[in-house]
Each structure stands twice: as C-alpha cells, then as structure tokens.
Amino acid sequence: MKSVITLAAALLVSTAALANDIDPNGFEKEHFISSASRAEVVADLKLAQQGGELSLGEQGMKPVAEPSTKTRAQVGAEARTSKRVYGEASVE
C-alpha cells in the first residue's frame, strides 16, 4: 500500500515538473502589439500585389488559371515519369 502511494506521489511530482517545461522563457505571457492598423496592412498588401513584389511559392511560379485537359490517369503517369522535384526548393 505504501509503495502505491509513493508511486502516485512520484507521478504527480513528475507531471508538474514536465508541465512547466512548455514555455520556460515566458513567451506565452508576452502580448503582441501591432504597429499598423488592419487597413494599413491591407493597403500595403494591395500595393505589393500591384507592384509584383510578392513571391509566388517556393520556385516563383504563378498558379495555373485554366482548367486541365488531361485525364487523371495521364497526370499520374506524367508525375511518375517526371524528373522534377516537388516540395522544398532544391538548391543546385
């Protein structure tokens, strides 16, 4: 019986110690203070879009606007035989 109580106490103490490790530097207590209003941010975004200053994905490609004319099977076969690397931009 005494070992069960000791084990339970040890579990409670270890759980409390682990719970404190989530944010050891206290960043969660800091509050974000914005230096610009929402309208200013939206205006800046529109200016950047009009000026072409925004990157379009990792490789700078524009999204395709027209619908595809290929079948699902054709796209799958093309993807399996492709040498192109998708995902993170490769450094060559």
Q: Greater confidence, 10 or 50? A: 50
Look up residue 43 and give its two tokens: 């205006």
CA distances from 86 to 38, 44, 83, 89 (A): 34, 31, 10, 8
**9 pLDDT more than 90:** no
**17 pLDDT more than 70:** no
What is the SS3 assignment for 48? helix
| pLDDT digits 0-9 by tens, 32-85 | 788 899 999 999 989 988 888 887 766 667 776 788 899 999 999 998 888 777
What is the SS3 assignment for 71? coil
User: DSSP letter at 36?
Assistant: S
Confidence of residue 31 (pLDDT cuts 50, 70, 90): confident
For the chain, strand residue ranges (E) read: none
